[in-house]
Structure 1
Amino acid sequence: MPYAYIHYPFENVELFENNFPGHFVAEGLDQTRGWFYTLMVLSTALFGKPAFRNLICNGLILAADGKKMSKRLKNYPPPTEVIDDYGADALRLYVINSPVVRAEPLRFKKDGVYGVVKDVFLPWYNAYRFLVQNAKRLEMEGFATFIPMDLISLQASSNVLDQWIYSATESLVQFVCQEMDAYRLYTVVPYLLKFIDNLTNIYVRFNRKRLKGRTGEEDCQRALSTLYHVLLTTCKVMAPFTPFFTEGLYQNMSKVSKGMEESIHYCQFPRAGGKRDERIEQSVARMMTIIDLARNIRERHNKPLKTPLREMIIVHPDSNFLEDIAGKLREYVLEELNVRSLSSCNDPLEFASLRAEPDFSALGKRLGKSMGVVAKEVKAMSQSDILKFENKKEVTVAGHCLQVTDIKVLDYTFSLFCATPMVLTLIAVLCLLSFINVSWNDSLGKVVVRDFKRPDGVAEKEMDAAGDGDVLVILDLRPDESLFEAGIARRIQKLRKKAGLEPTDIVEVYIESLDDDKSVLQQTLVSQEKYICSALGSPLLPSAAPPHAVILCQERFHGISGLAFAITLAKPALIFNSDACLALYSGDAKQANGLQTYLLSRDHSNLKSEFQQGNGKVGLCDGFL
């Protein structure tokens, strides 16, 4: 603090008074007495107020064994080695997102820095790479060079995930500005990391078809432009925390836009104040909860995602949320969970029953001997009586007027207050053994258990549910052989990965029946042609690969819904009409072979545009290709 530093009070009086108390003071935990307290004492004695408005105190970084880092013991990895392996940004983010920023000690581990690279930078970079790959794909398919669309027009998009990501980006900017103004660094980075996770695992993951151009060029341009602007804003927000990584992304992204600053560190920090849609943010958050709960049900019953399911039911009292799930978000839920139909229900009683129990701790002293009679009648309350009580907030039982604080109403959830860790552990074990769905509420200290009432005649293995105390998810697990064909597309995508193909690589996909009766597989492919073509982005050829095909990967499947078949991925290849080639050169075989060699060396996807009528080569592609 500038007490004597600027020679106050003998000069610089105005400068001192305009800057005192200081905006913040920062020091390590071990200097609190020699720095923070001394400043406070001096400022209180001299001016009657604190010396600083904000205090930033960092904890100590210890070795992995909890001891102080020592050059003699060499109990820590060399900093240059960590930076060489994982980068300065990863090291910085690891420390920023640690207990150190809360004035607590950190046991430094090199594996923790690697975790930042794996969990933050790789997904973040993959989102950027996905943008670049699909922008390149547009150009390869003959469309215009990718230029980001105007941000104002993009924000008027009718796509629900576009609306959500813009709202989430605005929430990010508002939160970061608010928390950084308050010097709460420890809340900012977790929020940033969660946003990057949502960007990669929700927007990019659920918008793959749009980003790959499967829904048309205009929609693809809109989705890519949205991803571009969100990534650009994310880089600007993260620039103070990861200066090198964001600069690298910014330099590449600035190549497709004019009038951008020379460096990201010359850009103004994004300003808060834009439009937010809190409803759609909440709906998407609940959608992700639904997806997680449905995955838990699948895992519990050994139903992998590649196995299609008939139906999914969402139970929640909020009609607006159900409207979003059954409308705007429907296709994303069905595709991610591989479910054919989705229905919603806003009446929890359809799949559960209400129960009422007296609060003995509240009524015991007040009712005395009457407690037993009142308790018996409360437990015997009918469904309609409980609903009336919830509406009126009071009920008369055995001559006593009871309020909402006197009765616990339990619908498809009920609460158990646990006095000891032993009781909590016992309940957790019982829940695991009986597949009861449990969530822990730290603020209330209670276990919330979701109790599901199945329809009559339906067994647990045929229908099951999971919930989190807010929403209930029900899955119809009964097998349906007609759903088999939907899994073919997923198997083909796995083959592409096995062959090491890039998303931009074009291949031909052949499927061949290995059964004696080949008509069954043929009928399946015909009935689901639209679904499979939509999932693959290209037609599925119902035959064996031709002899001239360059096979990239092949796999055989047996016992899949009683069928056996082989799937082959092949590189597109040219077939020449030898007679037409010879006729073109008046029987000169050498020149004909030279033309074939030239054509084989070209990019096959461009041959149609290069050899078309009007370029001196009339009908060449149709004549001999």
Structure 2
Amino acid sequence: MMFSGTMERNGKIKDYSCERLEPVRLPVLARCYVIPNNRSSFTMNEVKSENVMDRWIESFTNSLVQFVRNEMSEYRLYAVVNPLTRFFDTLTNCYIRLNRKRIKGDFGIDDQTHALSALGRVLVLIVRLMSPFTPFFSEYIWQRLRNIIGAPEESVHFTLLPTSDNTLIDEVVERRVQAMRDCIDLVRVSRERKGIPVKYPLKEIIVVNRNSQFLEDVKSLEQYILSEVNVRQLTISQDKKKYGIMLKADPNFRALGARLKGDQKKVVDYLKNEVTDNELEQFLIEGVLFRLLTVEMASLLYLDMNLLQKNSVSVTQVLKAIQTVNGYETNSDGKTIVMLDVSEDSLLVEEGLAREITNRVQKLRKTAKLISTDPAIVYCTVRPEASKITEVLMLHKERIEEATGTPIFLEALPSNKSATATNVSTIKDAEVSMWLVAKSAANVVTVSSNGNTVSIKLTSNSDEVLSYRDLLYEIRSALDLWEGNVSLTLSNGTRFHPTTPVEELSGQTVTVQT
């Protein structure tokens, strides 16, 4: 059990076990594996990257280091655990997700090296920072990084708690990325509300915010936003009237009640029913709300001046109309309103279906434990044949093959071939059957557990034979068997001994016992 104790506000010791990190631990490890798998050719680059996402993740990480050290210096250890665990969600769902093509090398070796180096540096920094709180998790990652970075320390616990590099902290970049993430989150919620998966492209998003700096930040990262939410066009605007947006005053009942006592209701009624958009605009600019009122009302709002201050009122943007307006699904966090064009377009629908098929092929490759350079082919049939899916396959076949690196044959699996992985699924009322055949079955073992079957490569990307421990990790990852102990049983009923060379499993079928 992995744990460390930290003191809470009430002085009690709280144990933070590995379960606290379970939602983020395994996805991170799977993504970190890209580095050790390329260790034979990858060398960390210490040159500062000019890519905005590389600059952001290093700035974000160093800001976190600064925050943790400040809190620990004040003995507020309870305050650092949540930001540390949330860091991995940010790392995986923002940095790695938005940079997966760069990390894979789609934009060239130099760009890949910058991305992997930035990822490696922040991982080294964060595992050193987390080591007092999650010692075994940090050690696990450290052992997979230390050879790449050339660290002499055999354990992360032989290193000092890191200090932040203030030269890498860029508040402007952090602000821009936060604006981008706010917009992406709002669009995702809108898609979920309408039941439109991200794989289906949409025409346009309109971002409305009265803050010009926010809109400039959003525009500066336009391509990342459009790519992540799969939308063709981004429009930004401060013109709330054009889109039927009004300002709304939200009284701070605690602040008003403490000052106004029983007269609070009169002021609240004024704020909710009488205050105008122009007055609220002025309030946002000057920080005070001024209006010539009756003597009775004036006596309620600071005896000598008719004003309310920002600690008494907050202002948000809301739509005058209903949630879906003229084909646009709207969402808001109070400051920003995002309008997503959800109207149907036949070309975009076809593109979405093509991405559905691409996704199925990629999942097959993942099930077969193939990397992007491993050759394979896919056989595919569609029932009924006269369906929209068949039409999309014919029109977008080359594009799907290019995206997956896998040739597709529109026919059933030939009788003289054996499938490495199979998939049968339904897309738009059509049954799509796929068979993936890896061109080389050498150094592959077939593993089955509870009716699930996968093929596992016995060598790493650098052609090194996996250790028994690494093989078990691959099996656990492929079959989602993270709980309890596992053992391997050969087809003849004998148990595979951990000391037996792993390469002897090549071409065999084994069963996992838990």
- Relative to the length of structure 1, the TM-score reads 0.56
Match of 1:288 among 181, 185, 190: 181
Match of 2:420 among 539, 552, 559: 552
* Aligned CA distance change for structure 1 residues 113 and 534 (closer, same or farther; 3 Å): farther
Instruction: Report the Cα offset of residue 100 of structure 1.
Output: 4.9
Instruction: Report the Cα offset of residue 148 of structure 1.
Output: 0.9
* Whole-angstrom distance in 2 between the partners of 1:507 and 1:124: 27
| 2:43 match | 147
Instruction: Report the Cα offset of residue 314 of structure 1.
Output: 1.9
Given that 2:212 and 2:238 are in contact with CA atoms closer than 8 Å, whether structure 1 keeps it comes out as yes
Given that 2:129 and 2:162 are in contact with CA atoms closer than 8 Å, whether structure 1 keeps it comes out as yes
3-state SS of 2:218 partner: helix
3-state SS of 2:152 partner: coil
| 1:508 match | 377
* Aligned CA distance change for structure 1 residues 566 and 525 (closer, same or farther; 3 Å): farther
| 2:345 match | 480
* Aligned CA distance change for structure 1 residues 387 and 471 (closer, same or farther; 3 Å): closer
1:353 is aligned to 2:265: no
Given that 2:142 and 2:156 are in contact with CA atoms closer than 8 Å, whether structure 1 keeps it comes out as yes
3-state SS of 1:241 partner: coil
* Aligned CA distance change for structure 1 residues 410 and 348 (closer, same or farther; 3 Å): farther
Amino acid at match of 1:521: V
Match of 2:134 among 242, 261, 276: 242
Q: Normalized per residue, which structure has more strand?
A: 2
Given that 2:36 and 2:145 are in contact with CA atoms closer than 8 Å, whether structure 1 keeps it comes out as no
Amino acid at match of 2:111: D
Q: How does 1:162-311 map to 2 (within 5 A)?
A: 162-258=54-150, 260-275=152-167, 276-311=169-204
| 2:483 match | none
| 2:396 match | 525
Amino acid at match of 1:159: N
3-state SS of 1:551 partner: coil
Match of 2:32 among 106, 119, 128: 128
| 1:493 match | 359
Instruction: Report the Cα offset of residue 166 of structure 1.
Output: 0.4
| 1:572 match | 439
Given that 1:164 and 1:280 are in contact with CA atoms closer than 8 Å, whether structure 2 keeps it comes out as yes
1:334 is aligned to 2:201: no
| 1:318 match | 211
* Aligned CA distance change for structure 1 residues 296 and 376 (closer, same or farther; 3 Å): closer
* Whole-angstrom distance in 1 between the partners of 2:282 and 2:376: 64
* Whole-angstrom distance in 2 between the partners of 1:278 and 1:378: 37
* Whole-angstrom distance in 1 between the partners of 2:226 and 2:103: 19
Given that 1:322 and 1:344 are in contact with CA atoms closer than 8 Å, whether structure 2 keeps it comes out as yes
Given that 1:173 and 1:237 are in contact with CA atoms closer than 8 Å, whether structure 2 keeps it comes out as yes
| 1:343 match | 235
Q: How does 1:86-97 map to 2 (within 5 A)?
A: 87=1, 90-92=2-4, 95-96=5-6
| 2:471 match | none
Amino acid at match of 2:175: Q
* Aligned CA distance change for structure 1 residues 503 and 220 (closer, same or farther; 3 Å): farther
Q: How does 1:54-93 map to 2 (within 5 A)?
A: 87=1, 90-92=2-4
* Aligned CA distance change for structure 1 residues 315 and 534 (closer, same or farther; 3 Å): farther
3-state SS of 2:340 partner: strand
* Aligned CA distance change for structure 1 residues 568 and 322 (closer, same or farther; 3 Å): farther
* Aligned CA distance change for structure 1 residues 411 and 353 (closer, same or farther; 3 Å): farther
* Aligned CA distance change for structure 1 residues 534 and 185 (closer, same or farther; 3 Å): farther
* Higher Cα radius of gyration: 1
Instruction: Report the Cα offset of residue 168 of structure 1.
Output: 0.9
CA displacement, residues 343-364 of structure 1 (integer Å, 9 cap, x when unaligned): 22233343302467999979x9
1:452 is aligned to 2:319: yes
3-state SS of 2:233 partner: strand
3-state SS of 2:105 partner: coil
* Whole-angstrom distance in 2 between the partners of 1:390 and 1:507: 60
Instruction: Report the Cα offset of residue 229 of structure 1.
Output: 1.3
* Whole-angstrom distance in 2 between the partners of 1:378 and 1:120: 43
* Aligned CA distance change for structure 1 residues 543 and 387 (closer, same or farther; 3 Å): same
Instruction: Report the Cα offset of residue 467 of structure 1.
Output: 1.7
3-state SS of 2:123 partner: helix
Instruction: Report the Cα offset of residue 271 of structure 1.
Output: 2.1
* Aligned CA distance change for structure 1 residues 568 and 317 (closer, same or farther; 3 Å): farther
CA displacement, residues 423-469 of structure 1 (integer Å, 9 cap, x when unaligned): xxxxxxxxxxxxxxxxxxxxxxxxxxxx32459xx955932212222
Q: Normalized per residue, which structure has more helix?
A: 1
Instruction: Report the Cα offset of residue 162 of structure 1.
Output: 0.6
Instruction: Report the Cα offset of residue 549 of structure 1.
Output: 5.5
Q: How does 1:576-587 map to 2 (within 5 A)?
A: none
Given that 2:249 and 2:314 are in contact with CA atoms closer than 8 Å, whether structure 1 keeps it comes out as yes
3-state SS of 2:80 partner: helix
| 1:445 match | none
Amino acid at match of 1:552: T
* Aligned CA distance change for structure 1 residues 342 and 254 (closer, same or farther; 3 Å): same
Instruction: Report the Cα offset of residue 340 of structure 1.
Output: 2.8
- Please list every run of 5 or more consecutive structure 1 residues that lacks an aligned counterpart in the other structure: 1-86, 140-144, 414-450, 575-601, 607-625
CA displacement, residues 222-267 of structure 1 (integer Å, 9 cap, x when unaligned): 1111111111111211222333443343233222344633433333
Instruction: Report the Cα offset of residue 525 of structure 1.
Output: 0.8
* Aligned CA distance change for structure 1 residues 346 and 510 (closer, same or farther; 3 Å): farther
Amino acid at match of 2:45: M
* Whole-angstrom distance in 2 between the partners of 1:358 and 1:149: 53
* Aligned CA distance change for structure 1 residues 540 and 283 (closer, same or farther; 3 Å): farther
CA displacement, residues 570-622 of structure 1 (integer Å, 9 cap, x when unaligned): 32369xxxxxxxxxxxxxxxxxxxxxxxxxxx99x99xxxxxxxxxxxxxxxx
3-state SS of 1:199 partner: helix
Amino acid at match of 2:63: S
Given that 1:509 and 1:567 are in contact with CA atoms closer than 8 Å, whether structure 2 keeps it comes out as yes
State how many pairs are aligned. 418
Instruction: Report the Cα offset of residue 273 of structure 1.
Output: 4.0
Instruction: Report the Cα offset of residue 563 of structure 1.
Output: 7.1
* Whole-angstrom distance in 2 between the partners of 1:269 and 1:377: 51
* Whole-angstrom distance in 1 between the partners of 2:50 and 2:165: 21
Given that 1:515 and 1:564 are in contact with CA atoms closer than 8 Å, whether structure 2 keeps it comes out as no
1:103 is aligned to 2:11: yes
- Please list every run of 5 or more consecutive structure 2 residues that lacks an aligned counterpart in the other structure: 299-304, 442-458, 464-514
Given that 1:312 and 1:339 are in contact with CA atoms closer than 8 Å, whether structure 2 keeps it comes out as yes
Q: Percent identity?
A: 29
* Whole-angstrom distance in 2 between the partners of 1:237 and 1:407: 37
Amino acid at match of 1:515: E
* Whole-angstrom distance in 1 between the partners of 2:51 and 2:75: 36
* Whole-angstrom distance in 2 between the partners of 1:120 and 1:465: 30
RMSD between aligned residues: 4.3
* Whole-angstrom distance in 2 between the partners of 1:205 and 1:377: 43
Instruction: Report the Cα offset of residue 165 of structure 1.
Output: 0.6
CA displacement, residues 540-568 of structure 1 (integer Å, 9 cap, x when unaligned): 546437746543344466663x8776544
Given that 2:8 and 2:78 are in contact with CA atoms closer than 8 Å, whether structure 1 keeps it comes out as no
Amino acid at match of 2:200: T
| 1:6 match | none
